[in-house]
Amino acid sequence: MPKLAEIAEAKMARNQLVTLRVPSTVVAKEWNVILNPWRQDYQRLAIISVEPYHIDRRLPRQSDHTNSAKT
């Protein structure tokens, strides 16, 4: 595991983080937010905006990936 991932995992385990923003591995220039439900203040989180996302049809579907892994 890369050093940065180890640091993030340790901080989550010690409940030092409510959220962790990480770069998307699928979409360039996009981010994902990992939520830590074990934090006491987790319940205070709220969605403040939602943006539409259009999935690129060129990306394989999960079922396509699963089927190709079997062959």
Domain ranges for the chain: 1-48
Q: Where are the alpha helices (DSSP H) in 1-71?
A: 3-13, 62-70
Burial class for 62, CB neighbours closer than 10 Å (0-12, 13-18, 19+): exposed
* Per-residue confidence in pLDDT tens, the chain, 71 aa: 578 788 888 888 888 888 888 888 878 888 888 888 888 888 898 989 988 878 788 877 766 555 555 55
Give the global pTM.
Answer: 0.56
pLDDT for res 66: 58
Q: What letter represents residue 10's amino acid? A: A
Tokens of 31: 């981010």
